[in-house]
């Protein structure tokens, strides 16, 4: 095991544990008060659709369907990248979504309506950091 | 009993490229002038720990100024009539640093800058090698693309929160929470469009890749980069340092804001450099040189998916 910790399996059960951690967080309601959106967390070939309402995860769906009527934005990265990102002490270049998305590194794709993403970045950033407590 | 920091703040009038700027600076200490340059969109508070460190201020007159539009330095009068958005240029930045040093009658100061302040050290070495006695480039390199983007200044996006959150991950996860969130706060307080405008210099106007080999080596350049810096990676700094004569390169276990995100770890890597600067100073201005105990220095460390229908789709309501 490296100093950065062991690899995790990022699957639906893991996403659920993370979502419950987000919903239990004491700070998230303040940061996410206006965070109402549906976004995709892409892990390898699997898309997880998360419904956010006032900073809480209301629903998670594995895979996308036409009746979803789309989503606002997506963060897609290989499972290996999310696994490193979510370690207690993530390694350099995997410790932040901007590190992973930077043109120099290209681990993460941010797609869709970037305006919604930027408007809610503070809350997004906070909830993603809670992956390290799952 | 009241407790004060030893820092004193003042305003000096600096004329640069035809305009005069009332410029705020903080200083503490005596000895070799050490002029500190803040990062893009921030201000001189990033150096508050070094300004209060007697191990530094006993040998250096530490000075941290706020560029125009940053911190307590106002934009030039008439800024509201500007027809183009604010863009920091290499020539203005370099000349302003020089004019600030002249306004304070500093004699051959050392300049220490981080991020864009590190990158501008390359221009200072190229254009003004007779004006400075040493340059310390923190998180500096010859080209740092990708940061001059519109969402950083957009009426539908909270600039302070978006800017500060964008840079948060540049810090090392093990840097103390208190100081990482203090750095976040500096960024959240920046004026509208200032961070983005500074990044015009950082990512667009300052490609030194074909110039750094021309640095003569008359002024020593010390490069110092943290392993968590994804904007200026250790590899980018090392590649630059290889091309700069009379330079040294230290990679350490920190991030992009060493002076403010983890001042103790920064001190570990900065002190050996300051000691060299004192020893090499021809006029022995660091006369109070202390016998610093040896400190530990971290060694070099140097598709088509999702849209298909799934009959057994799993869904969780929370």
Q: Is the pLDDT of residue B298 over 60?
A: no
- What is the predicted pLDDT for the residue at B219? 97
Average pLDDT of the segment spanning B251-261: 97
- What is the predicted pLDDT for the residue at B302? 39
- What is the predicted pLDDT for the residue at A3? 57
Average pLDDT of the segment spanning B173-198: 98
Using a CB–CB cut-off of 8 Å, the residues of B that contact A are: 145-146, 151, 154, 156-158, 161-162, 165-166, 168-170, 172-174, 227-228, 230-231, 233, 303, 305-310, 313-318
Residue A58, chain B, CB below 8 Å: the answer is yes
Q: Are B253 and B297 in contact (CB under 8 A)?
A: no
- What is the predicted pLDDT for the residue at B288? 61
Average pLDDT of the segment spanning B94-104: 98
Give the CATH number, domain containing residue A33. Answer: 3.30.1050.10
Residue B174 has its nearest CB partner, among A57, A89, A105, at: A89
| Per-residue model confidence as pLDDT tens for chain A (134 residues) | 455 555 678 999 999 999 999 999 999 999 999 999 999 999 999 999 999 999 999 999 999 999 999 999 999 999 999 999 999 999 999 999 999 998 888 999 999 999 999 999 999 999 999 999 99
Residue A105 has its nearest CB partner, among B172, B230, B305, at: B230
Average pLDDT of the segment spanning B241-249: 97
Q: Terminal CA-to-CA distance of chain A, rounded, Å?
A: 18
What percentage of chain B reaches a pLDDT higher than 90?
A: 87
Give a yes or no: residue A57 inside a domain: yes
- Flag if B305 and A45 touch (Cβ within 8 Å): yes
Give a yes or no: residue A1 inside a domain: no
Give the total number of structural domains in chain A: 1
Chain A from 15 to 44: CB within 8 A of any B CB:
16, 19-20, 23, 40, 42
pLDDT band at B300 (very low <50, low <70, confident <90, very high): very low
- Flag if A115 and B227 touch (Cβ within 8 Å): no
Nearest to B47 by CA among B131, B138, B143, B172: B138
- What is the predicted pLDDT for the residue at B282? 74
What pLDDT digit, counting tens, does each position of B28-41 carry? 999 999 999 999 99
- Flag if A102 and B230 touch (Cβ within 8 Å): yes
Q: Is the pLDDT of residue B305 over 70?
A: no
Q: Is the pLDDT of residue B109 over 70?
A: yes
Q: Are A64 and A39 in contact (CB under 8 A)?
A: no
Give a yes or no: residue A92 inside a domain: yes
Residue A54, chain B, CB below 8 Å: the answer is no
Determine the residue of chain B that is closest to A90 in CA distance. Answer: B173
Determine the residue of chain A that is closest to B236 in CA distance. Answer: A104
Domain locations in chain B? Answer: 11-280
Give a yes or no: residue A2 inside a domain: no
Give a yes or no: residue A99 inside a domain: yes
pLDDT higher for B112 or A105? B112
- What is the predicted pLDDT for the residue at A72? 97
- What is the predicted pLDDT for the residue at A104? 81
In words, the CATH class of domain B11-280 is: alpha beta
ipTM of the complex: 0.93
pTM of the model: 0.91
Q: Are B295 and B266 in contact (CB under 8 A)?
A: no
Residue A122, chain B, CB below 8 Å: the answer is yes
Phi, psi of B28 (to 5 degrees): -160, 150
B-chain CB neighbours of A68 within 8 Å are: none
- What is the predicted pLDDT for the residue at B311? 61
pLDDT band at B296 (very low <50, low <70, confident <90, very high): very low
- What is the predicted pLDDT for the residue at B312? 77
Which two three-digit tokens encode residue A54?
Answer: 């006032």
Determine the residue of chain B that is closest to A92 in CA distance. Answer: B228
* 3-class secondary-structure state, position B264: helix
Nearest to A8 by CA among A61, A77, A71, A79: A79
Residue A104 has its nearest CB partner, among B156, B173, B233, at: B233
């Amino acid at each position: 095991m490296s100093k950065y910790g062991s690899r995790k399996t990022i699957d639906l059960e893991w996403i659920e544990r993370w979502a419950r951690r987000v919903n239990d967080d004491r700070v998230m309601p303040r940061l996410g008060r206006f965070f109402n959106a549906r976004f995709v967390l892409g892990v390898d070939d699997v898309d997880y659709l998360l419904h956010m309402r006032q900073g809480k995860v209301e629903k998670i769906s594995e895979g996308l369907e036409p009746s979803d009527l789309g989503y606002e934005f997506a963060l897609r990265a290989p499972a290996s990248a999310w696994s490193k990102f979510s370690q207690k002490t993530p390694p350099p270049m995997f410790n932040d979504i901007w590190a992973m998305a930077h043109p120099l590194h290209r681990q993460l794709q941010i797609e869709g309506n970037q305006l919604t993403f930027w408007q809610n970045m503070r809350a997004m950033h906070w909830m993603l950091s809670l992956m390290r407590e799952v | 009993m009241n407790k004060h920091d030893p820092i004193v703040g003042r305003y000096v009038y600096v004329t640069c490229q035809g305009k005069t700027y009332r410029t705020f600076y903080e200083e503490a200490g005596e000895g070799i002038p050490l002029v500190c340059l803040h990062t893009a969109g921030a201000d001189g508070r990033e150096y508050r720990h070094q300004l209060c460190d007697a191990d530094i201020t006993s040998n250096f007159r530490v000075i941290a100024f706020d560029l125009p539009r940053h911190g307590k330095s106002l934009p030039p009068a008439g800024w509201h009539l500007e027809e183009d958005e604010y863009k920091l240029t290499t020539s203005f930045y370099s000349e302003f640093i020089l004019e600030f040093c002249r306004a304070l009658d500093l004699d051959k100061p050392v300049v220490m800058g981080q991020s864009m302040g590190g990158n501008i050290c390359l221009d200072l070495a190229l254009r003004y090698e007779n004006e400075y006695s040493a340059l310390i480039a923190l998180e500096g390199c010859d080209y740092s693309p990708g940061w001059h983007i519109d969402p950083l200044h957009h009426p539908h996006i909270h600039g302070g929160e978006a800017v500060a959150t964008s840079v948060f991950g540049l810090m090392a996860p093990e840097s103390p929470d208190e100081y990482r969130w203090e750095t976040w706060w500096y960024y959240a307080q920046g004026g509208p469009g200032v961070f983005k405008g500074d990044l015009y210099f950082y990512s667009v106007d300052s490609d030194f890749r074909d110039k750094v080999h021309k640095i003569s080596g008359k002024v020593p350049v010390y490069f110092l980069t943290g392993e968590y810096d994804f904007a200026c990676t250790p590899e980018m700094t090392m590649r630059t340092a290889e091309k700069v004569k009379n330079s040294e390169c230290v990679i350490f276990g920190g991030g992009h804001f060493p002076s403010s995100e983890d001042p103790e770890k920064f001190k570990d890597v900065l002190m050996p450099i300051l000691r060299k600067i004192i020893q090499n100073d021809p006029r022995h201005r660091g006369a109070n040189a202390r016998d610093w105990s040896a400190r530990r220095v971290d060694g070099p460390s140097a598709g088509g998916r999702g849209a298909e229908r799934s009959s057994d789709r799993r869904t969780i309501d929370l």
